[in-house]
């Protein structure tokens, strides 16, 4: 094992102990370190990073995530060896290449939960866990990494909140839960503990009582999605709606509800920014541009406002 490989393992262990899931970043960094090993290099440089990216072209969004992952690793390495160089941020695309979100219908969500409740496993835990995981993402807008990082101690069942550890540059925050979600989590935890015969510290555990991983969850989501027709059958994972689209659906449904209730979205938008853990208003306003129905509702609101303001 190379020195850089050992340092990567130490870095990932250090970050994960502080609540960061890093499943996607770990895969990117593993590929990058493998490239450096093949080049016989153990010091990160901007040139090597550019050569690796050139060898593995990807979307603007993926390139940005790569840069974030490598810059974080390089900054950590510089604490021990100043020869490491922190590559510059990725500036390509200017965020315009974000994939169009899939907004799940109520029927698609119902089918997703129903099919997940049929998943077979030795202890029967998967059919208990996955419907709750998808539902929690749908009603809170959590990122999948944030949900998988939740420990039981993060949940205040009395106050109806979940403490979310900082990830993806976001700050630590409290996410509110309605009474039905709190009740569903209570039931899930009791059933999970009974099936496992013990009480794991994490909220979402596998058949061995170990925290669920993103690769396992992603594979399960693909299998369920293909079973209900959300993704084409045949391909290993299939293209189509993603787990992250549950987060998009929550955001869009929240904005639609505010419009339907006649609320001033501009006054309430900061609430959604906090719940989603966005660091800028731009990230939240993106939904108004990306989803035609929201753009239409916003236009209608503006037309109504202008009409009301016209002198009689």
Quick one: pLDDT band at residue 237, thresholds 50, 70, 90? confident
Of 22-31, 71-80, 200-209, 222-231, which gets the smallest average pLDDT? 22-31
So what's the pLDDT on residue 298? 58
So what's the pLDDT on residue 108? 97
Catalytic residue (choose from 66, 138, 143, 226): 143
Of residues 57 and 135, the one with the higher pLDDT is 135
pLDDT per residue over 75-89, tens digit each?
A: 999 989 999 999 888
So what's the pLDDT on residue 305? 45
Of residues 162 and 234, the one with the higher pLDDT is 162
Catalytic residue list contains 287: yes
Catalytic residue list contains 208: no
Catalytic residue list contains 301: no
> Can you say how many angstroms the Cα of residue 161 is from the centroid of all Cα atoms in its chain?
19
pLDDT per residue over 146-169, tens digit each?
A: 999 999 999 999 999 999 987 655
Q: Most confidently modeled of 13-22, 78-87, 302-311?
A: 78-87
Residue 34 CA to residue 116 CA, distance in Å, equals 36
Q: Which helix or strand (DSSP H or E) is residue 311 part of?
A: none
pLDDT at 208 over 60: yes
Quick one: pLDDT band at residue 134, thresholds 50, 70, 90? very high
Q: Which residues contact 269 (CB under 8 A, 6 or more apart)?
A: 281, 284, 285
Catalytic residue list contains 143: yes
Catalytic residue (choose from 84, 138, 248, 278): 278
Of 3-12, 85-94, 215-224, 287-296, which gets the smallest average pLDDT? 287-296
Of 63-67, 116-120, 207-211, 225-229, which gets the smallest average pLDDT? 63-67
Catalytic residue list contains 244: yes
At 229, list the tokens.
């027709």
**Which residues are paired to 155 by β-bridges?**
162
Catalytic residue (choose from 15, 211, 247, 248): 247
Residue 192 CA to residue 199 CA, distance in Å, equals 8
pLDDT per residue over 249-279, tens digit each?
A: 998 899 888 888 888 777 778 888 888 888 7
Smallest CA-to-CA distance from 215 within 148, 167, 133 is with 148
Catalytic residue list contains 91: no
Phi, psi angle pair for 232, to nearest 5° = -70, 140
Catalytic residue (choose from 34, 123, 168, 268): 168
Catalytic residue (choose from 98, 244, 268, 301): 244
- What SS3 class is residue 157? coil
Arithmetic mean of pLDDT, 40-61: 87
Residue 215 CA to residue 243 CA, distance in Å, equals 12
Cα-based angle 10, 15, 18 (whole degrees, multiple of 5): 130
pLDDT at 303 over 60: no
> Can you say how many angstroms the Cα of residue 24 is from the centroid of all Cα atoms in its chain?
10
CB 191 within 8 Å of CB 128: yes
């Amino acid at each position: 094992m190379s020195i850089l490989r050992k340092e990567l393992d130490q870095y990932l262990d250090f970050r994960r102990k502080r609540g960061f899931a890093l499943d996607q970043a770990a895969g990117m960094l593993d590929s990058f370190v493998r490239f450096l090993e093949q080049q016989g290099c153990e010091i990160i440089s901007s040139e090597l990073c550019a050569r690796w990216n050139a060898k593995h072209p990807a979307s603007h969004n993926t390139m940005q995530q790569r840069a974030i992952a490598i810059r974080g690793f390089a900054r950590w390495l510089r604490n021990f060896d100043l020869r490491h160089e922190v590559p510059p941020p990725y500036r390509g695309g200017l965020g315009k290449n974000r994939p169009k979100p899939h907004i799940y219908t109520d029927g698609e969500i119902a089918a997703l939960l129903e099919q997940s409740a049929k998943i077979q496993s030795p202890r029967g835990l998967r059919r208990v866990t996955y419907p709750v995981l998808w539902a929690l993402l749908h009603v809170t807008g959590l990122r999948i990494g944030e949900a998988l990082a939740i420990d039981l101690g993060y949940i205040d069942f009395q106050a109806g909140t979940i403490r979310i550890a900082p990830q993806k540059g976001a700050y630590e925050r409290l996410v509110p839960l309605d009474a039905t979600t709190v009740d569903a989590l209570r039931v899930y935890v009791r059933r999970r503990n009974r099936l496992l015969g013990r009480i794991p510290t994490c909220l979402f555990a596998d058949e061995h009582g170990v925290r669920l991983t993103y690769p396992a969850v992603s594979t399960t989501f693909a299998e369920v999605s293909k079973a209900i027709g959300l993704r084409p059958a045949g391909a290993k994972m299939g293209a189509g709606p993603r787990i992250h689209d549950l987060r998009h659906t929550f955001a869009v449904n929240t904005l639609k509800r505010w419009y339907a209730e006649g609320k001033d979205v501009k006054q309430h938008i900061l609430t959604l920014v906090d719940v989603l853990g966005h660091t800028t208003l731009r990230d939240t306003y993106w939904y108004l541009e990306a989803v035609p129905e929201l753009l239409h509702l916003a236009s209608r609101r503006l037309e109504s406002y202008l009409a009301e303001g016209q002198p009689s």
